[in-house]
Every structure is written in structure tokens, then in C-alpha cells.
């Protein structure tokens, strides 16, 4: 009974789309990730986002890495903003107004394009993620925000079928 349901569901999907590849079109088996353009004054963001995406995106979407010229799909984007130092928690000592927790925010535009036909598979402008961090641990907050960005991209791409 379960097998019949799965076969029936597979035959109802739109042409070119399948269950393999984490919700990407069935013809997408390889993917290239282009380093995002960075419009912020924080140069390390480009490398950190690129490395996190290479590490997480392809395995979670069920595709293999490929050079851009041979990839079925390409991920590209722009890091638009990087806002840091927003206080979110203060010291319990009333005589000292010292923040104990801070927040940062990253905003990006992301696009996944099927290179075989030039169509956009998934796109999100203004994708925003936040990360909280303790005093003097901005890098930890940035890692948290980047992890959320990658997760949002995976979820967005998987929701396309």
C-alpha cells in the first residue's frame, strides 16, 4: 500500500522535478557555489559564508560539487548588510550599565540558477539572519548567523517541489 502511494505521488509531480536532490529539479545533480559579492566593510564575511555554504549546502541538498562551467546549478548572491553591536542583555549590577550579550544581523540576496536552462530555481532578496554573542565574541555570533543563513537557503531550495 505504501509503495503504491509513493509511486502514485511520484507520477503526479511536475515535469523535471523529483524527490532526489532535496527538492531541486531532477536534472540538478551538481552545483557550484560562487563567492558572494560583499558590500559590507567586513572582508572576512565573504570567505566565512562561502566556506559554510560549501560545507553544508551541497550535502544537505543531495548534489555534488562541480566547477561553475560544468555545474547543473549555481548559487550566487550579495552580502548587503552586516550590523553588529546591538545590545540585548545587560549586567545584573545596577551600578554598571554593561551589556553582557549583543546581537548582529546579516542581510543577503541569494539566487540558485539552473544553468541548463537559465531559470531561477530559488531566490530570496533580503534574507536576514541574526546571531547573539557574548562581549568580545563577535565571531561566535557571526558563525551562528551564517549557520542560520545556510539553513534558510536549504529550506528554501527544498520547498521548491
Domain boundaries, the chain: 35-158
Residue 132, class by beta-carbon neighbours within 10 Å (0-12 exposed, 13-18 middle, 19+ buried)? Answer: middle
DSSP state of 43: T
- Average confidence (pLDDT) over 54-67: 95
Residue 59: name the closest of 158, 161, 159 by CA: 158
Asked if 102 contacts 84 with a C-beta cutoff of 8 angstroms, the reply is yes
pTM above 0.95, yes or no: no
Grouping H, G, I as helix, E, B as strand and the rest as coil, residue 95 is coil
Average pLDDT, the chain: 85
35-158 is a CATH 3.40.50 domain: yes
pLDDT of 93: 67
Using 50, 70 and 90 to split pLDDT, how confident is the model at 85?
Answer: confident
- Average confidence (pLDDT) over 103-116: 97
**42 or 2, greater pLDDT:** 42
Residue 131: name the closest of 64, 83, 65 by CA: 83
Residue 61: name the closest of 156, 131, 137 by CA: 156
Calpha distance 41→23 (Å, rounded): 35
Using 50, 70 and 90 to split pLDDT, how confident is the model at 61?
Answer: very high
Using 50, 70 and 90 to split pLDDT, how confident is the model at 97?
Answer: low
* Dihedral in degrees, nearest 10, Cα atoms 4, 9, 29, 38: -150
pLDDT of 21: 41
pLDDT of 23: 77
Whether the predicted pLDDT of 44 surpasses 60? yes
Whether the predicted pLDDT of 89 surpasses 70? no
**50 or 87, greater pLDDT:** 50
Whether the predicted pLDDT of 11 surpasses 50? no
Amino acid at each position: 500500500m505504501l509503495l503504491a502511494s509513493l509511486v502514485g505521488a511520484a507520477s503526479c509531480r511536475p515535469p523535471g522535478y523529483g524527490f532526489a536532490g532535496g527538492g531541486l529539479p531532477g536534472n540538478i545533480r551538481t552545483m557550484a557555489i560562487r563567492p558572494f559579492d560583499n558590500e559590507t566593510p567586513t572582508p572576512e564575511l565573504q570567505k566565512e559564508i562561502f566556506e559554510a555554504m560549501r560545507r553544508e549546502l551541497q550535502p544537505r541538498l543531495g548534489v555534488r560539487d562541480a566547477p561553475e562551467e560544468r555545474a547543473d546549478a549555481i548559487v550566487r548572491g550579495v552580502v548587503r548588510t552586516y550590523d553588529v553591536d546591538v545590545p540585548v542583555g545587560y549586567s545584573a549590577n545596577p551600578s554598571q550599565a554593561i551589556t553582557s550579550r549583543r546581537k548582529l544581523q546579516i542581510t543577503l540576496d541569494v539566487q540558485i540558477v539552473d544553468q541548463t536552462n537559465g531559470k531561477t530555481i530559488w531566490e530570496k532578496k533580503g534574507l536576514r539572519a541574526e546571531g547573539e554573542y557574548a562581549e568580545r565574541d563577535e565571531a561566535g555570533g557571526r558563525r551562528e548567523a551564517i549557520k542560520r543563513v545556510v539553513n534558510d537557503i536549504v529550506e528554501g531550495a527544498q520547498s521548491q517541489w
